[in-house]
Every structure is written in structure tokens, then in C-alpha cells.
């Protein structure tokens, strides 16, 4: 006879309301691990595709310049910021490519997950704002609707992974948090989890 996984109760205050519900620690663990691996794959694949675009002899042949100059809608309230970024492909391109690869590796290994989630979330925030086709008064339209697109979903998933400390689930962060260096640091633990 199968037994039901043990449940815990979560009590929290959200938006000024007390909420309480039961959840399975086992299934939360599996879901966090699965989401972390999927997000690792998204970043790692994106970074490696960009890195290999010009062949392995020129790892930074990919350039964001054309996108930044031409693909960001003129009605986007941040259009000027993105065209300014286009002036610095020597800085922007390596940050995007190596950032995506390192974020992917960190999420895959479960190391520095909160920091990786923060950096990935920042990148997704930039990608999301670049997709705006107009401003707030127009409802922040994106290509297939309003406000929400895949980068916005990724941003929220990364927030969840960082908030839950998903690096502790079959990840190196659990081991790193036990070290004396982390135990004696007042800030280093913020990067882990």
C-alpha cells in the first residue's frame, strides 16, 4: 500500500492577508530541482549557441548590436538606453554570452544559486524591457500580448529559485553553507542557497 508523503504547513502573510496551506516537502524538492535544471538548460543553451555562432575560433562573433539598434521598438520608453548599449558591443556581448554560460553552470551545479538567480533575473529584466513595444499607458505590449512573455516568466522562476534557496536541493550550496568561511561571513550566505 502506497503511503502519502508527509506534509508540512506553511503559514505566511501575503498582501496583508494570513494564508496557510499544506505542502509536501518531497514534491517541493523535486519541483525546485526540476525548475533549477530547466532554467540551467535555458541559460546554458542560449550562451553556448551565441558563443559557437562564429565557430569555435571566434567565440564572441555573436553581436547584440543589430538587435539593440534595430529590434527595440522606437515607442519603447527605454529605446534610448538600448541604443546607447549598442555603442558598447565589446562590453555588452561578452557579458551576455559568458553571463548566460556561467548562470547556466551555476544553476546546473546548484552553486551560488541566489547570485546566479539575481544575475539571470537582471538579464531577463533587460530582455523583457527590450521587448516592450510601447509604454505603460499602452499596457506595456509585448509581441504576443501584454506585459507577460517568456522572459517575464523566467524572471519570476528565477526569483522563486533564489527565494527558496534551490541550490540546497541536490546542489553544492548545501555543502558550501556548512563551511567555516560561510558560517563566519555576515554576507556570503546571501549568495548561496
Instruction: Report, as an integer, the average pLDDT of 118-129.
Output: 94
What is the rounded CA–CA span in Å between residue 87 and residue 81? Answer: 10
> Which tops the pLDDT comparison, 52 or 110?
110
Query: Using one digit for the tens of pLDDT, what is the confidence trace for 48-103?
Result: 998 887 655 566 677 888 888 888 888 888 889 999 999 998 899 889 999 999 99
Query: Using one digit for the tens of pLDDT, what is the confidence trace for 127-184?
Result: 998 888 876 666 667 777 788 889 999 999 999 999 998 999 999 988 988 888 888 8
The predicted pLDDT at position 63 comes to 84
How many residues appear in the chain?
Answer: 193
Q: Which residues contact 39 (CB under 8 A, 6 or more apart)?
A: 107, 120, 154, 157, 158, 161
**Cβ atoms < 10 Å from Cβ of 108:** 17
User: pTM to 2 decimals?
Assistant: 0.84
Q: Where are the domains of the chain?
A: 28-190
What is the rounded CA–CA span in Å between residue 39 and residue 21? Answer: 27
Q: Which of 88, 89, 63, 67 is nearest to 76 (CA)?
A: 67
Site of grid cell 558560517: 183
Instruction: Report, as an integer, the average pLDDT of 106-131.
Output: 94
What is the rounded CA–CA span in Å between residue 106 and residue 167? Answer: 9
Q: Does 4 score more than 80 pLDDT?
A: no
Residue 34 β-bridge partners: none
Amino acid at each position: 500500500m502506497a503511503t502519502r508523503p508527509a506534509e508540512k504547513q506553511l503559514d505566511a502573510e501575503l498582501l496583508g492577508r494570513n494564508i496557510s496551506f499544506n505542502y509536501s516537502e518531497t514534491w517541493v524538492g523535486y519541483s525546485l530541482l526540476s525548475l533549477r535544471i530547466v532554467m540551467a538548460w535555458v541559460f546554458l543553451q542560449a550562451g553556448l549557441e551565441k558563443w559557437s555562432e562564429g565557430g569555435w575560433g571566434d567565440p564572441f562573433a555573436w553581436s547584440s548590436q543589430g538587435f539593440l539598434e534595430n529590434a527595440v521598438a522606437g515607442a519603447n520608453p527605454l529605446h534610448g538606453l538600448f541604443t546607447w548599449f549598442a555603442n558598447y558591443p565589446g562590453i555588452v556581448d561578452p557579458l551576455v554570452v559568458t553571463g548566460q554560460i556561467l548562470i547556466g553552470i551555476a544553476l546546473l551545479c546548484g552553486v551560488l544559486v541566489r547570485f546566479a538567480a539575481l544575475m539571470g533575473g537582471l538579464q531577463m529584466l533587460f530582455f523583457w524591457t527590450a521587448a516592450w513595444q510601447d509604454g505603460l499607458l499602452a499596457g506595456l505590449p509585448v509581441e504576443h500580448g501584454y506585459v507577460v512573455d517568456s522572459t517575464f516568466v523566467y524572471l519570476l522562476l528565477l526569483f522563486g529559485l533564489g527565494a527558496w534557496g534551490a541550490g540546497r536541493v541536490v546542489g553544492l550550496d548545501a555543502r558550501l553553507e556548512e563551511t567555516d568561511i560561510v558560517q563566519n561571513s555576515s554576507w556570503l550566505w546571501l549568495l548561496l542557497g
